[in-house]
Amino acid sequence: MKYEILHDLSIPKIGFGTAQLGGRLFNDPTRDEFFLSALRSALELGYVHFDTAEFYSGGHAEQLIGRALHDSGLKREKLFITTKVWPVNLAYKKVLRACENSLQRLQTEYIDLYLIHWPNPLVPLQETFRALNQLAREGKVKHVGVSNFNLKLLKQAQALAETPLITDQVHYSLSDRAYAGNGVLEYCQQNDILLTAYTPVKHGRIASEKALQAIAEAHHATRPQIALAWLVNQPRVIAIPMSFNPKHQKENIEAADIVLSAEDMKQLS
Q: Rounded to whole angstroms, how far apart are CA atoms 162 and 13?
A: 25
Alpha-carbon radius of gyration of the chain: 18
Please tell me which residue in 47, 56, 114, 198 is annotated as part of the active site: 56
How many other C-beta atoms can be found within 10 angstroms of the C-beta atom of residue 97?
14
SS3 category, 143: strand
Q: Is 179 a catalytic residue?
A: no
Q: Rounded to whole angstroms, how far apart are CA atoms 39 and 20?
A: 12
The number of angstroms, rounded, from the C-alpha of 256 to the middle of its chain's C-alpha atoms is 15
107 by Cβ neighbours in 10 Å (0-12 / 13-18 / 19+) ranks as: middle
The number of angstroms, rounded, from the C-alpha of 85 to the middle of its chain's C-alpha atoms is 13
**Residues known to be catalytic:** 56
